Amino acid sequence: MDLVGPFCMHCCKGNRHMKTHNGEKPYGCPLCSYASAQLVNLQRHLRIHTGEKPYKCNHCTFACSSLGNLKRHQLHTGEKPYKCHLCDYACGNLANLKRHQRVHSGAKPFQCTICNYSCNQSMNLKRHMLRHSGEKPHKCQECGYTTGHWDNYKRHQKKHSLTTDGWVKVQMPGNEEEVEDEEEV
């Protein structure tokens, strides 16, 4: 992976995460087969085995082993500590605030590697890439219609007088869901 100063050219994060790109996982759990590229992830994982729950809610008795889980809990309680300084927008986590602020700045950091399309949200780029790949992960159980877009699927279901409760998302090869850790954002 190439670096530009202290940043990775692949994903623009700081260079301390470089092992995540090359697959190196030097930090292994002594109690199970878990291994990680970063020590902080192993330390968080070890709490599963110890039962340690250092993150506590200030409003109730909820306690958990990771900051990300506490933030999700606080979202559930309606707390919105992150506020936009340009408008009235408020939200429960920093990642959502950063995404919102791109609306004001006009920044479109997510760029298609095949054409000149760019956008301000990663989900929009993922949806755009379906056009190039031809993947259609949403399938109607009534007639077999498939589409790459959830909105098209919902519209199609109205033709059958159905709701979208019975939809099936088809798993495409190489399209496994990625889970990003909010603590590292």
**Which pLDDT score, from 0 to 100, does residue 1 have?**
44
pTM score, whole prediction: 0.45
**Which pLDDT score, from 0 to 100, does residue 16 have?**
57
**Which pLDDT score, from 0 to 100, does residue 4 have?**
40
Residue 100 lies in a domain: no
Q: How many domains would you assign to the chain?
A: 2
Q: End of a domain among 19, 35, 52?
A: 52
Separation between Cα atoms, residue 121 and residue 108, nearest integer Å: 8
**Which pLDDT score, from 0 to 100, does residue 2 have?**
43
Q: How far, CA to CA in Å, does 139 sit from each of 45, 74, 99, 145?
A: 36, 35, 30, 6
Separation between Cα atoms, residue 98 and residue 118, nearest integer Å: 17
CA-based end-to-end distance of the chain: 19
Domain that includes residue 160, residue range: 110-169
Q: What is the CATH number of the domain that holds 47?
A: 3.30.160.60
**Which pLDDT score, from 0 to 100, does residue 21 have?**
64
Q: Considering Cα of 93, then 99, then 103, then 104, what sign does the dihedral take?
A: positive
Residue 93 lies in a domain: no
**Which pLDDT score, from 0 to 100, does residue 178 have?**
37
**Which pLDDT score, from 0 to 100, does residue 105 have?**
93
Helix, strand, or coil (residue 105): helix
Residue 6 lies in a domain: yes
**Which pLDDT score, from 0 to 100, does residue 184 have?**
34
Q: Mean pLDDT for each consecutive 10-residue tract of the chain (185 residues)?
A: 47 56 82 88 86 88 87 78 93 88 91 92 85 83 85 84 56 42 35
**Which pLDDT score, from 0 to 100, does residue 137 have?**
79
